[in-house]
A and B are shown apart, each in its own frame.
Chain A
Amino acid sequence: MIVPLEHIIILAGLLFFLGMGGLLAWRANLIMMLVCIEVMLNAVMLVFVGGSARWGNADGQLFAIFIMALTSAEVSLALAMVVYLHRRKRTVDTDVFSEMKG
């Protein structure tokens, strides 16, 4: 372990909360929301790998790899939905898609 686990968790927390703040600020643009979600998922993977290095256990690395597989599925579906929505309304603004508002 080259650095204490606290520093890795601080780095991952910084990345996660940066992604969270960006997600809250960019809530009108679908593509930037997805980019911010990527930052958050990357921070979660960093926590898993750091725990795996701290306790010498392979499970953390495996869950980081599982998160990568889940992220690829999520991104492909989300981008397909972005293409679909853009085809309907010619925009990626989330405020336009509000027909289900009661």
Chain B
Amino acid sequence: MEQTIFYILASVAVIGAILAITEKHPVHAILYLVTSLFSVAVIFYLLMAPLAAAFEVILYAGAIMVLFLFVIMMLDLVHPEKGLSPHWREWLPALLLSGISIASLAAVVLARHGEDAAAAPQALPIREVAVCLFREHGLAVELVSLQLLFALVGALYLGKQPKRGDTE
């Protein structure tokens, strides 16, 4: 049952990603990407990571994608679906390189097949995850908070309106 759900969600994620990267309109692309992110969040839940699944929905699909939407609305791109979309000739090297990468991945995985014979570990409770986060990776938490502060300051500086009379 869970295996079937996993494969359905995997196909939804891949199809959503394909639609997101081939869509010409950025707003439609972001909505397809949100669909893909929701299915990946449910895959996280199936893989015994409920905390990561909740953060995926709240932070990724909820906050970051809405930030994208707000910025696209704010930029006032006139007819964004015209003009900037890649010509079919620009898809050729991308398709070639991605095809080579996917084929090599498939070859490696098929060559190493059959080594996976481990007992299934039980689910990790969130309490244990939190203890591991703040006891073993406390420095990383502090570094991430500092980095978010730097990103905030940088975004404030970049988004500041230039004063009248300033040179470009």
Contact yes or no, B98 A70, CB < 8 A: no
Find residues 6-22 in chain B having any chain A CB closer than 8 Å to their own CB.
6-7, 10, 13-14, 17-18, 20-22
| Contact call B102/A52, Cβ cutoff below 8 A | no
Per the bound structure, the CA–CA distance linking A18 and B105 in Å amounts to 13
Q: Is the interface of A mostly helix, strand, loop or mixed?
A: helix
- Asked if A92 and B75 make an inter-chain contact with CB atoms under 8 angstroms apart, the answer reads yes
Residue B166 lies at the interface, judged by CB distance under 8 Å to chain A = no
Task: Give the size range of A's interface with the partner.
Answer: 35 or more
Known contacts A14-B102, A82-B75; A54/B118 CB under 8 A: yes
B43 to chain A: closest residue by CB:
A46
Partner of A11, one of B10, B22, B60: B10
Q: Are A2 and B3 in contact (CB under 8 A)?
A: yes
Specify the chain A residue showing the minimal Cβ separation from B105. A13
Beyond the given pairs A28-B84, A42-B36, A79-B71, 14 more chain A to chain B contacts, judged by CB atoms under 8 angstroms and listed by A's residue number, are A18-B98, A24-B98, A39-B36, A54-B118, A56-B122, A61-B49, A61-B51, A64-B52, A68-B60, A75-B64, A77-B151, A80-B154, A83-B75, A88-B168
Interface residues of A (CB under 8 A from B): 1-11, 13-15, 17-29, 31-32, 34-36, 38-39, 42, 45-46, 49-50, 52-56, 58-62, 64-66, 68-77, 79-84, 86, 88, 92-93
